[in-house]
């Protein structure tokens, strides 16, 4: 197939021509049949009109006269020379030429012609009328009439015979057009199916057996875009690997040397009244955490992260994370409560959800003051798992609810009112994990006197 446009135009013209020809042929045959019937009726009427002129008047009149639908009367003056069997015995009053008259209980289409020439004696004798009864001055009146209803019915039948084939061919035309359009658009449908069937990490070019002219440019542009995306993702993965290799090792060495330097300074009794060494140590630790967060954020990106969904217990995972972070909780003497259902089955990626809980609960521990309260609630409803985390910390202004999910964004910047160090990536990672599991994430005020409530809903 070289062109969808050429194929569709050719096929539609061919199908419409074929169906129209078939309908016209059927209409032509029906019209010819109706016309033949009309001409046969006229021949029958002519035969019936001529029959009395040659028939023996002494023959048995018990034989019924041929019945015709038309009415015929022939008058010489007021003398009836001939009438058809269905014609009345009285003279039908009608003007010369064509007109419409009422008689015999219905309406007729009449044609009346006047002939001024006198009839010959032979014609008068043949009609059974004496020549003396006729005068040359009396005109010959010939009237022929047909039922108007019959004429209209015949005309309607001819018209319907012409219309019916066209109407009946419409479904066939629609079916043929649908088949032609479906055939013409099949390469486009296959192209769309291949694109929609691709996985997030499948950036291989799209291959089609037959590529029409209209689709070749789109296919080429799409494949070029896929190649560029593949290269971009490969560069991003290489960058993440380079960051892990080039920054993790120097930072680890820097942390070890810094720790040894602080120990040696303390042994030597070197004073640090401005606290430069602890500040330096905190900065190195913060940089190390930032690199770890960046690596985790890259790993949890839906385009890169291949979720290994498996049946797991979210309640058990929450208990494990609380136990893992319990030293931090104990250090600030905070109250952590796990409420709700004891077992919450869920199809999810265990590593991703553990990372989500560590970030959520870690933020709550970090920003909740000493002696504060943290409440974690689990519930299931309509095949949805709802996880709610509340704290009694300072909370977040509602105008900041959407911005806190942006990467590297912190409320108040680096000078956060809590004084806690952070990178602004924790909630961004949580948002990526929730999106990976087709869930929803909302923020709101805590039920405590102050604080933040985070609600996560995940499909079971």
Provide the number of structural domains found in the chain.
3
Phi, psi angles (nearest 5°) of residue 376: -120, 120
Check whether residue 232 and residue 327 sit in a common domain: no
Task: Point out the least confidently predicted range of 56-70, 197-211, 435-449.
Answer: 56-70
8-22, 198-212, 432-446: range with highest mean pLDDT: 432-446
Confidence (pLDDT) at 386:
93
Residue 421 included in any domain: yes
CATH number of 408's domain: 3.30.565.10
Residue 56 included in any domain: no
Check whether residue 133 and residue 257 sit in a common domain: no
Residue 54 included in any domain: no
Check whether residue 123 and residue 257 sit in a common domain: no
pLDDT at 3 over 80: no
First-last CA distance in the chain = 47
SS3 content of the chain, % helix, strand, coil (to 5): 55, 20, 30
Confidence (pLDDT) at 415:
47
Tens digits of residue pLDDT in 116-172: 764 455 554 554 544 444 445 678 888 888 888 877 777 777 777 777 777 777 788
Check whether residue 327 and residue 251 sit in a common domain: no
- Cβ within 8 Å of residue 78, ≥6 positions away: 91
pLDDT, average across residues 449-458: 91
Confidence (pLDDT) at 241:
63
| DSSP class of 67 | P
Confidence (pLDDT) at 413:
53
Check whether residue 110 and residue 227 sit in a common domain: no
Residue at which a domain ends, from 119, 150, 181: 150
pLDDT at 318 over 50: yes
**Report field, pTM of the whole predicted structure over 0.75:** no
Check whether residue 248 and residue 315 sit in a common domain: no
Residue at which a domain ends, from 235, 270, 295: 295
Task: Point out the least confidently predicted range of 57-61, 66-70, 72-76, 321-325.
Answer: 57-61
Tens digits of residue pLDDT in 233-288: 777 767 766 666 666 677 777 778 877 888 887 787 777 766 777 777 777 776 77
Domain that holds residue 113: 67-150
Residue 195 included in any domain: no
pLDDT at 33 over 80: no
Check whether residue 222 and residue 127 sit in a common domain: no
Residue 320 included in any domain: yes
Residue with more model confidence, 106 or 59: 106
**CB atoms < 10 A from the CB of 308, how many?**
10
Please state, in angstroms and rounded to a whole number, the distance separating the CA atoms of residues 211 and 11: 18
- What does the mean pLDDT of the chain come to? 77
13-17, 287-291, 335-339: range with highest mean pLDDT: 335-339
pLDDT, average across residues 8-24: 79
Check whether residue 239 and residue 276 sit in a common domain: yes
Task: Point out the least confidently predicted range of 82-96, 104-118, 125-139, 201-215.
Answer: 125-139
pLDDT at 313 over 60: yes
pLDDT at 439 over 80: yes
Please state, in angstroms and rounded to a whole number, the distance separating the CA atoms of residues 387 and 228: 39
By residue count, the chain amounts to 460
| DSSP class of 55 | S
pLDDT at 68 over 60: no
Residue 349 included in any domain: yes
Confidence (pLDDT) at 455:
93
Tens digits of residue pLDDT in 156-181: 777 777 777 777 777 887 787 888 77
pLDDT at 83 over 80: yes
Tokens 């015999």, residue? 104
Confidence (pLDDT) at 453:
93
Check whether residue 308 and residue 405 sit in a common domain: yes
Please state, in angstroms and rounded to a whole number, the distance separating the CA atoms of residues 233 and 226: 10
């Amino acid at each position: 197939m070289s062109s969808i446009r050429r194929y569709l135009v050719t096929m539609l013209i061919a199908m419409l021509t074929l169906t129209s020809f078939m309908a016209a042929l059927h209409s032509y045959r029906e019209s010819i049949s109706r016309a033949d019937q009309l001409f046969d009726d006229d021949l029958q009427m002519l035969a019936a009109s001529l029959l009395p002129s040659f028939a023996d008047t002494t023959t048995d009149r018990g034989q019924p006269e041929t019945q015709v639908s038309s009415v015929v009367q022939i008058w010489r003056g007021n003398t009836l020379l001939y009438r058809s069997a269905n014609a009345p015995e009285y003279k039908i009053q009608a003007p010369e030429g064509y007109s419409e008259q009422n008689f015999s209980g219905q309406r007729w289409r009449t044609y009346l012609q006047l002939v001024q020439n006198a009839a010959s004696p032979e014609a008068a004798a043949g009609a059974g009328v004496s020549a003396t009864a006729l005068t040359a001055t009396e005109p010959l009146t010939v009237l022929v009439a047909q039922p108007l209803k019959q004429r209209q019915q015949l005309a309607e039948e001819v018209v319907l015979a012409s219309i019916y084939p066209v109407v009946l061919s419409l479904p066939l035309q629609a079916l043929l057009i649908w088949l032609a359009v479906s055939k013409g658009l099949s390469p486009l449908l296959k192209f769309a199916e291949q694109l929609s069937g691709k996985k997030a990490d499948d950036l291989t070019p799209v291959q089609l057996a037959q590529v029409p002219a209209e689709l070749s440019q789109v296919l080429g542009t799409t494949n070029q875009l896929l190649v560029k995306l593949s290269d971009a993702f490969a560069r991003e993965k290489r960058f993440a690997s380079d960051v892990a290799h080039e920054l993790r090792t120097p930072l680890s060495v820097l942390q070890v040397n810094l720790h040894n330097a602080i120990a040696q300074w303390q042994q030597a009794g070197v004073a640090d009244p401005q606290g430069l060494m602890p500040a330096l140590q905190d900065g190195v630790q913060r940089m190390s955490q930032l690199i770890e967060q960046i690596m985790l954020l890259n790993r949890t990106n839906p385009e890169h992260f291949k979720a290994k969904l498996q049946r797991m217990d979210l309640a058990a995972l929450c208990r494990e994370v609380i136990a893992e972070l319990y030293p931090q909780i104990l250090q600030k003497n905070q109250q952590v409560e796990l409420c709700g259902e004891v077992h919450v089955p869920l199809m999810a990626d265990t590593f991703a959800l553990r990372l989500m809980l560590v970030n959520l609960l870690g933020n709550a521990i970090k920003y909740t003051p000493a002696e504060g309260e943290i409440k974690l609630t689990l519930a299931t409803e309509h095949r949805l798992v709802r996880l709610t985390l509340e704290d009694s910390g300072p909370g977040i202004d509602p105008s900041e609810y959407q911005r806190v999910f942006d990467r590297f964004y912190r409320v108040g910047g680096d000078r956060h009112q809590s004084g806690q160090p952070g990178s602004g990536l924790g909630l961004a990672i949580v948002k990526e994990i929730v999106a990976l599991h087709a869930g929803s994430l909302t923020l709101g005020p805590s039920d405590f006197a102050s604080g933040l409530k985070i609600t996560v809903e995940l499909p079971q």
